[in-house]
Structures are given as structure tokens and as C-alpha cells.
Structure 1
Amino acid sequence: MTAAPRARVQRRPVHGVLLLDKPLGLSSNQALQKAKWLLRADKAGHTGTLDPLATGVLPICFGAATKFSQLHLDADKTYETVVRLGVTTSTADAEGEVVDTHPVDCSAGQVVEVLDRFTGSITQVPPMHSALKKDGKALYEYAREGKTVEREPRTVMIHDLELLDMQLQGTEPFLKLRVRCSKGTYIRTLGEDIARALGCGGHLTLLRRVQTGPFSVDQCITVEALEAMPEDQRLRCLLPVESLLPHHAPVTLASDDAARFLSGMRRRGHWPDHEQVAIYGPPTDTRRAPVLLGCGHTQAGELIPGRLLSPIEIQQILETAT
């Protein structure tokens, strides 16, 4: 007996940002595809991957918002993590095989001293179990083949390293840390390096991203909550596209200038120099707030286009705002 074909989902234009609390076990792409299916969106992307073993803030960009997702790849991130001391694994997390064990005999004072050493500008060797590519191939692919390849150390910035809790005695000694860091920081490597500096080794048993750029986990929605909602209510969970531009200086153009700017023409005006500018058109009959046109920069009194929304995207956003 042939199974009935699955009904095709009717895709539609959706524009905005969904702050998803990514669950344990899902890859960033799996979480994106799930959200895309639930909203029936025809275009989506995210602002940087989060490990399957990590949970927390995953901004998903729909439609016109995908044009600005690249801006958030450079955003600082904040994580909470638990480092299990005394046990080293092949992957620096709980998924790997145990490769070494050591007694934990460090003191609280030594922990504080070591954490101080890992604050500020530090160098890391990217882990073999990572998506970083070498010769066109992801490092984790080499690792699955049992190969180790040379990796260049990278400089990252640990802005803040806070000790939330610790247990240095008992059968499962651990450190619980809160880390605010620059892009490209490998928290598994950081935890492993801290544990090695304490003389006992260790691995991550928990990793949760609690903030990326301006977005915090308190603003996020779970996949389960999204699934339980009626379809029209899911759309109300979206933040506007301009939420991706919180630090851009706003410039609002009159109708004629807005139309010319959208065609890619520079405009002249009395604007101070800004490297990042969010450009808006005037309010419309259906929308009281100015309408986002795109981003760019100002220099010597000239407004220079960067990433622009298309007239179709702007019209679709206005229609959903009515």
C-alpha cells in the first residue's frame, strides 16, 4: 500500500526576526528549518551557528531581515557553561569519549587566579570538533576520520569571566561560569584550557547562550511554545526588521528622496558622518512609524546606500502592518 503524499506547505513572504530558544540536540539549521516550516516562510537564515549540544538564543531572520543578518555575526556573545573538572574527553564536551582522569586538588584561590589569566585578549587553538574549514573541509570531518590537522591559534577577547558557582570536592567537581566574549570564541576550548591550567583537566557538560548582541534569552520563545500557537499568533512573535539595527543612527527621508535612494542613488543633506545609518521613508496611511528602507553610511554630507530593501519587500511589510 502506497503512503499518501505529504501535503505541500504553501510558502508566503514573512519579514522579521524570531528569537528562538534553541533546544538541546538540534543543529542551528534544523531549528531554522523547523521555525521556517511553522511560519510557512519562503526565506530564512540565522545569525551564526550554535552547537547542537548548546541551547539558548538563536535569532532567525526572515525575508528582508536576512539582508542584515551578517551584521550580527560580529556581535559579542554571552554564555553560561559548566565545566566538569577531573575528566578530559576527546571532544571537550560530554559527547566525547573519556581520554584521561585526574584528581582535583586545586583551591578556590587558584580558580580565581586562573580565571583572571583567561580574561582579556587570549589565544585559542580551534578544536578539531568544529565547523572551521581547512582546505575546504570542516575540521569535524577530519576528526571523524581519526585525523588531526594543524590549526593556527586565533586571538579572541574575553570581556568578562564570572564564576557563578563551584564545587571542588565530591565525586563531580565543577565550575559554573558566565562568559561574555567576542565572535569566534570556542567555549569548549576555553573550558578545557581553564581546567588544564588548574592541573586536573575537564570538559563541558552544559552550554547555554544567554545573549547575542542586543538579544537576550528572556526575549526568546521555545519551539514547543511556537508549535502550540495558532498560526496567526506565531507571526506576532516576530520582531521588526529594524531590530537588527539598534546602534545605527536613524535618518528619515521625504518621499522623493526615499524613492531615489531605493534606486541606489546617493542623497545630499546636513548629516554628520556615521559609519552605520538606518534609513527610513516617511510614515504612510497604513503605518504611523517611518518605514525602513535599508542601511548605509553618511560621509561629508552624503547618504551612501548599503543594503537596501526592495520595493516589493517594503510593500509586503506595510501590508502585514495593516
Structure 2
Amino acid sequence: MRPGFINLNKPAGLTSHDCVSRLRRLLQCKRVGHGGTLDPAATGVLPMALGPATRLLPYLPGEKSYRAIIHLGLHTDTDDLTGQILGRQSAVGVQRHQIEALLPGFLGDIDQIPPRYSAIQIDGQRQYALARQGKSVTIAPRPVHIQTLDILDWQAGEVAQLVLAITCGPGTYIRAIARDLGTALGVGGTLAQLIRTHSGGFDLSGSHTLDTLAQQVQQEQFQPIEIPTALSHLPSLKLDPVWTQRWCFGQRLPLESLAAAEAPYPVLVLTQQQQPLGIGRYFEGVLSPRVVLPPP
């Protein structure tokens, strides 16, 4: 299997690891990884990597976008509708202008407390496993970045419905946004539906379902997204055969052809024929290997 990426449209009901397992069987590829956990109930873009490309997942663009439906007037233990309802409070009095006034406080660099049911590890155990065991632990706030929060639709009611378009950085929990917004309004909030519309540089419009991928494999038409295409946001450098050999041996390369910067930055390293060789870290005129892919 040629290394590369897949823009998968994850269905509801599957975990991100379920998708990894299904692609392993479908493509007969042992090394499959995903680029960011998506809750089982959520759907949408889940970047997948095949073979050595799994080592490049951290270098995909980190920005993610979502379409979230939030129910105000409900509070659950999971902060979404899959959990137990802990409380109800009429949201009849909540008005759109109140929400608009609160949203700026969620923007930028903020500290966010993850949901009790999350994949975060605490003392070597997943937080959701501890929650299922009834164990109460202190969950520390985590820094996240939220770039935009736009109201797409608003329906007032006993249980009000708010639809948001959200653009954020990695590690952001949309369930936590629903919970905290409901708390700020005094009525409670929970996530009712989540669609990831953009992640890792991939859009929902170009994604493929598992059924579509299975059909492509059956018809021998499956082609992964090429590594240079997926990492086109990075500066790139082509090496001649001599420098390629040095690179494959893991040697640092003195180079002056790349732009100087105050901090190290990643560079996609290619052969003269555009074949990927890996990722380097460039700083002060030296390119240091960080990910060395098998020679083409």
C-alpha cells in the first residue's frame, strides 16, 4: 500500500479507532492512524494516514471547523445527548442577543475544562473509564484556541436550539463549549449534534464514506492523497541524489537556501522527482531530520 492520506467522512456510531480497524481490514494495511479523535456520535472529517504517512499526522494543519447543534435547557453527565440527564431548566427566557453578548468571551486563547467523559489520560487511565467507574477526579483546565463562533440558527423554546459554526485549534472540546455556554446562561447546555466540516487541511465536501472507499477498492480505483498534496502548506525543499543519501542516513544538512526565522520551523523534504523523504527542522542554516521516510 502506497503511503498517503484519506479524507474520511466518519459515520455516527463508530469511534475513531473503529475507523482505523475497518480501514486496516479494507485496505489490508497494518499501519493506519487518524489525525484527531472524533466522538462516536459525531460525524464528518477524520483525516486518516496509511503506512509511513502515520508519522506525518502531527504536521497536518491543526485548524478544525465544526457545525454544532446545542440544546439549551438540558445538562447531561457527558455534555451531549448520549449521557444521563442531570438537570432541566426552562430556556424560554433566553434570547439571541444574550448569546451574542457571551460568545466573545469564548474566543481567542482560553482555558477550557474538558468533559468528564473524554479520552484524556489521568494517571495512566482514560478519563471516560474513570467516570464510568464512578471515580471523581479533578480535571485541570487546558489551554485551547477558538478562532470563530458564529450563530447559524436560533430557535427559542423550553429547550432552545442553537446552531453554531466553530473554527478552533486542536484539543478543543465542542461539548465543553455547549456546557459552558449553557452554564453562563443559567439554564444548562448540551451538545445535540456535531459535524466536523474541516480538519487537517481536508474539507467535508471532498471526504469519502467507508462504503465509497470499499467500492473504490473493489473496482481497483482507490488512490490515497499524496503526501506532498496533504502537506502543501509547509515550505518544501528538493534534494539532489547526494544530499538525499545523506538525508536517508539521518545526517544534518547545512543549507542557506531556506528563509531565516527566529524560531525553528518544519520543512517537507522531497527528491527532485517530488517523492517525499520526510520532515526536517530548519534553524540557523541547518536542516535536521525529524521524520525520515523509507527511501523511494
State TM-score, norm by structure 1.
0.85
Q: Residue 250 of structure 2 aligns to a residue in which SS? A: coil
Say how many residue pairs are matched: 291
Distance 1:231 1:259 in 2: 38
Deviation at 1:32, TM superposition (A): 1.3
Deviation at 1:133, TM superposition (A): 1.3
Does 2:210 correspond to 1:223? yes
- Asked if the contact 1:253–1:281 (Cα under 8 Å) also holds between the matched residues in 2, the reply is yes
Aligned mate of 2:16, from 12, 28, 34:
28
Percent of aligned pairs sharing the same letter:
33
Distance 1:69 1:243 in 2: 13
Instruction: Describe the superposition over 1:119-156 as per-residue Cα deviations: whole angstroms up to 9, x where unpaired.
Output: 22222212110111111111111111122211111221
Deviation at 1:201, TM superposition (A): 0.9
Counterpart in the other structure of 1:71? 59
Counterpart in the other structure of 2:226? 240
Aligned mate of 1:249, from 235, 248, 251:
235
Deviation at 1:266, TM superposition (A): 2.5
Counterpart in the other structure of 2:292? 308
Relative to structure 1, is the Cα distance of residues 33 and 234 closer, same or farther in structure 2, using a 3 angstrom cutoff? farther
Matches within 5 A, 1:189-204: 189-204=176-191
Counterpart in the other structure of 1:212? 199
State TM-score, norm by structure 2.
0.92
Does 2:175 correspond to 1:188? yes
Structure 1, unmatched stretches of 5+, are: 1-12, 284-289, 315-322
Q: Residue 246 of structure 1 aligns to a residue in which SS? A: coil
Q: Residue 155 of structure 1 aligns to a residue in which SS? A: strand
Does 2:267 correspond to 1:277? yes
Counterpart in the other structure of 1:19? 7
Counterpart in the other structure of 1:150? 138
Deviation at 1:234, TM superposition (A): 4.8
Distance 2:121 2:256 in 1: 46
Distance 2:38 2:179 in 1: 18
Does 2:287 correspond to 1:299? no
Letter of the 1:255 partner, please give it: P
Letter of the 1:248 partner, please give it: L
Distance 1:302 1:123 in 2: 36
- Asked if the contact 2:77–2:116 (Cα under 8 Å) also holds between the matched residues in 1, the reply is no
Instruction: Describe the superposition over 1:274-307 as per-residue Cα deviations: whole angstroms up to 9, x where unpaired.
Output: 6121111122xxxxxx221111033343332221
Larger CA Rg, structure 1 vs 2: 1
Counterpart in the other structure of 1:136? 124
- Asked if the contact 1:14–1:43 (Cα under 8 Å) also holds between the matched residues in 2, the reply is no
- Asked if the contact 1:14–1:41 (Cα under 8 Å) also holds between the matched residues in 2, the reply is no
- Asked if the contact 2:213–2:222 (Cα under 8 Å) also holds between the matched residues in 1, the reply is no
Letter of the 2:254 partner, please give it: R
Instruction: Describe the superposition over 1:165-212 as per-residue Cα deviations: whole angstroms up to 9, x where unpaired.
Output: 01013x542100111112111110111110111121121110111111
- Asked if the contact 1:261–1:267 (Cα under 8 Å) also holds between the matched residues in 2, the reply is yes
Distance 2:45 2:78 in 1: 23
Does 2:84 correspond to 1:97? yes
Aligned mate of 1:159, from 147, 159, 179:
147
Aligned mate of 2:245, from 247, 256, 259:
259
Aligned mate of 2:34, from 39, 43, 46:
46
Deviation at 1:230, TM superposition (A): 4.2
Distance 1:146 1:294 in 2: 45
Distance 1:97 1:296 in 2: 47
Aligned mate of 1:57, from 45, 64, 72:
45
Counterpart in the other structure of 1:4? none
- Asked if the contact 1:39–1:235 (Cα under 8 Å) also holds between the matched residues in 2, the reply is no
Counterpart in the other structure of 1:177? 164
Letter of the 2:269 partner, please give it: I
- Asked if the contact 1:89–1:98 (Cα under 8 Å) also holds between the matched residues in 2, the reply is yes
Distance 1:299 1:151 in 2: 37
Relative to structure 1, is the Cα distance of residues 135 and 228 closer, same or farther in structure 2, using a 3 angstrom cutoff? same
Deviation at 1:232, TM superposition (A): 5.2
Letter of the 1:265 partner, please give it: Q
